[in-house]
A and B are shown apart, each in its own frame.
Chain A
């Protein structure tokens, strides 16, 4: 008889949380950067998918996993660039643009996969490469922590590193300041000489870059091949993580970890015969509740402010 705690309180489970979190974290960091610049990129799901395929195809033809990774990141940036071009130059609505990217990716990747491999389901016939996992010398010998933290895929470590990079970028660099000011109030930013368009371009390209790394992890780490629609909603979860993390780097990262745990849990709980379909909805329900609580608080705060500003003149 298994119990819930038996499943969760194992090093294997903690290890799998980090493993499952990786693509969500990458995409959520991408969502964070573009949202802070005031432009919501709902094409993350599609960008990840395109990058996952790009990584597999390029690594298969160049026989190098690292070239594949580079191509995947570039592919993600390129798709984000197309989205940026249309939304910023042609004034396509950003949400509709994102929908277009997602539609394009889910069909377009299958189209290209079929042309290259003659298979519409997966890329098993392409000899693609996988990025390595790394044992960390000292940590791997520590009991309990060792098996959790060591031996992960190289991109899992990169994702954790990226948290610090993004935090530094947003909070300590001139570019970060510009991104935040454009997101906060584009007119004010413009009036002090910040180019809104250029800043939003950069933010969208960066979001595509990070989502691209997440996509590369899906097909060159999490699995060792591309299969159709393999991102399976992780781009949406990432948007949710960003929304629930309230636009902070720390909040976004912790929520990604939480969603990773919920995802890993849904895998683990299949042992306990709790339907996976229902467990799979847990991250979304959590996000919904988090969003509503946040929205209610915001509305209250605004109403209080209004009341105060109304009562002030009479006090004078």
Chain B
């Protein structure tokens, strides 16, 4: 906890330094960056809207990281499940609440099945889930973009976008005046469920043991191959739902022509949350907050929003640095020892 706060503080200091170097009115710009996200109902809404997909991917990545699996496939699954949900939203004829439910569940199931493949390859033959999942990202993006361009694309629209979703498929808004949608409830339910699964069930226990030491878990009678496949299925399901919900909650056409980046963002959220489900909420909100702050800053001052990328890199590098504070502590100890001698 202390280290996470220290890292966030350092990251904010770096942000202020960059702003003061770049901006002609640094103080004004910093104020926009810090306080604009909570300045109005619409902006608070923006933060919450952005936190929803971040919570989904952060939760999926937390599960995988907890099992000591470095699978970064949430990126491709977000995209592809989005395409699946979009095609159901365009073509199916279903009732008001059934339509989005079917689309989201279909996206989740497709995500689970796709995610299972690197899982099976890892569990059975120990193929690096990192490399296979990265390959899957590119493959899923290629196939998804093909489907968008050749099957779903609205020729009458000027940009590369799909046909309009049917109004029945779009998720309901929770708070008038914002775009906060029912996906928020779904993700919070998921977080509670994953917490319960991880800490209160036998499977969750097996998952955590496998993550700590796969060989030890295997010798103590846990079927680790099964655990690895199960984790991938659940994480894929969560990421798939996340992609579908983002598409149906925020847009009325499918319009991603590049990978949306949520897979890697999820890694950042999971790290901030130390892979704990409830802490994912905090990690996602923090990231969403500084992003909206940066967006507003780009709009109202002379500093571009891409500054946030530098801050994110600093956070990841420092937060995963096990020795970060120890390093300085050791140096201080050595120095004092030298003084005494």
A residues whose Cβ falls under 8 Å from a Cβ of B: 40, 42, 86, 89-93, 95-97, 99-104, 106-108, 110-111, 114-115, 120, 233, 236, 239-240, 243, 275, 277-278, 280-281, 284-285, 287-288, 291-292, 294-296, 298-299
Contact = CB atoms under 8 A, between A and B. Distances in A.
B142 A280 contact: yes
B313 interface: yes
The 7 closest A-B pairs by CB, nearest first: A107-B309, A104-B313, A90-B321, A281-B142, A100-B316, A295-B127, A277-B146
A36 to B, nearest CB: 16
Residue from B70, B124, B142 whose CB has the most chain A CB atoms within 10 Å: B142
B135 A108 contact: no
Contacts of B149: 275, 277
B145 interface: yes
Contact of A295 (B121, B268, B316): B121
Contacts of B22: 115
A86 B310 contact: no
Contact of A288 (B126, B132, B316, B321): B132
B146 A278 contact: yes
Determine the interface band of chain B, counting residues with CB < 8 A from chain A. Answer: 35 or more
Nearest to B327: A90
Residue from B72, B314, B317 whose CB has the most chain A CB atoms within 10 Å: B317
Interface stretch (B25-33, B165-173, B300-308): B300-308
Contact of A91 (B264, B271, B323): B323
Contacts of A40: 130
B340 interface: no
A238 to B, nearest CB: 11
Interface in B253-302: 264, 267-268, 271
B263 to A, nearest CB: 10
A107 B142 contact: no
Contacts of A93: 320
Nearest to B315: A100
Nearest to B72: A99
Interface in B1-51: 22
Contacts, number: 141
A102 B310 CA distance: 10
Given A90-B323, A277-B142, A292 B306 contact: no
Nearest to A101: B313
Contact of A90 (B127, B308, B322): B322
B125 interface: yes
B219 interface: no
A32 B314 CA distance: 27
A294 B318 CA distance: 35
Interface of B: 22, 70, 72, 121, 124-128, 130-132, 134-136, 138-139, 142-143, 145-146, 149-150, 264, 267-268, 271, 304, 306-310, 312-314, 316-318, 320-324, 327
Contacts of B314: 100
A24 to B, nearest CB: 13
Contacts of A240: 131, 134-135
B27 to A, nearest CB: 19
Contacts of A295: 121, 125-127
17 contacts: A42-B134, A86-B321, A90-B327, A92-B322, A103-B309, A104-B312, A107-B307, A107-B308, A107-B310, A108-B310, A275-B146, A278-B143, A285-B139, A288-B135, A292-B121, A298-B125, A299-B124
Majority SS of interface residues in chain A? helix
B141 to A, nearest CB: 8
Contacts of B130: 40, 42, 95
Contacts of B126: 295, 298-299
B146 to A, nearest CB: 4
Contact of A114 (B139, B145, B146, B304): B304
A239 B131 contact: yes
A96 B317 CA distance: 7
A39 B149 CA distance: 39
B125 A284 contact: no
A115 B304 CA distance: 8
Contacts of B317: 86, 90, 92, 97, 100
A108 B124 CA distance: 40
B135 A111 contact: no
A104 B125 contact: no
B128 A291 contact: yes
A104 B142 CA distance: 24
A296 B70 CA distance: 20
Contact of A96 (B136, B139, B271): B271
Contacts of A42: 130, 134
A291 B138 CA distance: 15
Given A95-B130, A291-B131, A299-B125, A103 B142 contact: no
B143 A96 contact: no
A156 B304 CA distance: 35
A76 B11 CA distance: 23
B224 to A, nearest CB: 15
B316 A284 contact: no
A89 B136 CA distance: 32
A90 B316 CA distance: 12
